């Protein structure tokens, strides 16, 4: 059967996939929880579920494609932002079906995309966790805080417009200062970042532990006397079953 991924590309499957390689940590978790036993490989950064025991294929940006071919998958899962188009094309050129999930800008968009993968590619009923996550994240409450959210330093890289993490925060009552910036991930100087707190535009510094691992000793010292909170990067950026726990954990 031929399905179409989020980018409109053909995904020619020979029935329900039985050997799946995931090149995206959050998709790995979603598949492991929803379709136990089908994962044949995952990236080195696929840390959840913690009990996952499958062959590793390297990183998302630079996977070891020869290792993927050795695993003989009948489906590879990728993401338009996390994975390189040239890797996807090489897989397809070698006869491997690839489903590319579009980089979601909102929680509902991510959950809708996951529903398509699970119900179409795997012929599942809607998983309970997905229905629950949709209920939890449906509302957008009034803004309570205004935040600056770095995701990297040296150089500083900040959450900007149309990001999944930005929508997660907005649905917990936190808007991001760079939410209307022309770039999705602006790279402002530190003085500019500090100025938002000095003039009262921002009142919270949100520091995730991935992709850069901010800690109490690495990050807050650059913003003296600024209120900050350390959060799980997984809860902020992963789409999948973790969204249920993320809703309750992200009380900012």
Quote the pTM value: 0.93
**In whole angstroms, how far apart are CA 175 and each of 10, 77, 104, 239?**
37, 31, 18, 19
The token pair at 21 is 């390689």
Q: Which fold has domain 145-249?
A: Rossmann fold (3.40.50)
Q: Where are the domain boundaries for CATH 3.40.50.1980 in the chain?
A: 2-106, 145-249
How would CATH label the architecture of 2-106?
A: 3-Layer(aba) Sandwich (3.40)
- Residue 126 · residue 119 · CB < 8 Å: yes
HSE, side-chain direction, 13 A CA sphere, residue 127: 23
Instruction: Please give the chain's pLDDT, 252 residues, in tens.
Output: 789 999 999 999 999 999 999 999 999 999 999 999 999 999 999 999 999 999 999 999 999 999 999 999 999 999 999 999 999 999 999 999 999 999 999 999 999 999 999 999 999 999 999 999 999 999 999 999 999 999 999 999 999 999 999 999 999 999 999 999 999 999 999 999 999 999 999 999 999 999 999 999 999 999 999 999 999 999 999 999 999 999 999 988
Question: 233, 144, 156: which is closest to 188 by C-alpha?
Answer: 156
Concatenating the DSSP letter of every residue in 130-192 gives HHHHHHHHS--PPP-EEEE-EEETTTTEE--SS-HHHHHHHTTTEEETTTT-SSSS----HHH
């Amino acid at each position: 059967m031929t399905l179409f991924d989020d980018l409109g590309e053909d995904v020619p499957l020979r029935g329900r996939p039985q050997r799946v390689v995931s090149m995206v940590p959050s998709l790995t978790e979603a598949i492991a929880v929803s379709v136990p036993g089908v994962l044949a490989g995952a990236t080195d950064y696929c840390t959840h579920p913690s009990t996952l025991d499958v062959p590793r294929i390297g990183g998302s940006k630079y996977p070891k494609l020869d290792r993927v071919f050795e695993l003989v998958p009948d489906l590879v899962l990728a993401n338009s932002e996390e994975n390189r188009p040239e890797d996807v094309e090489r897989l397809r050129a070698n006869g491997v079906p690839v489903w590319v999930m579009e980089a979601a800008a909102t929680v509902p968009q991510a959950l809708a995309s996951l529903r398509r993968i699970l119900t179409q590619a795997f012929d599942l009923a809607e998983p309970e966790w997905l229905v629950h996550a949709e209920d939890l994240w449906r509302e957008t409450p009034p803004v309570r805080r205004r935040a600056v959210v770095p995701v990297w330093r040296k150089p500083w890289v900040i959450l900007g417009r149309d990001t999944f993490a930005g929508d997660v925060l907005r649905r917990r009552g936190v808007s991001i200062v760079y939410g209307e910036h022309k770039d999705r991930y602006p790279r402002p100087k530190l003085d500019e970042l500090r100025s938002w707190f000095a003039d009262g535009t921002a009142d919270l510094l949100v520091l995730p532990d991935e992709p850069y691992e901010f800690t109490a000793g690495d990050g807050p010292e650059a913003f003296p006397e600024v209120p900050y909170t350390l959060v799980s990067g997984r809860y902020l950026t992963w789409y999948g079953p973790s969204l249920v726990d993320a809703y309750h954990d992200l009380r900012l």
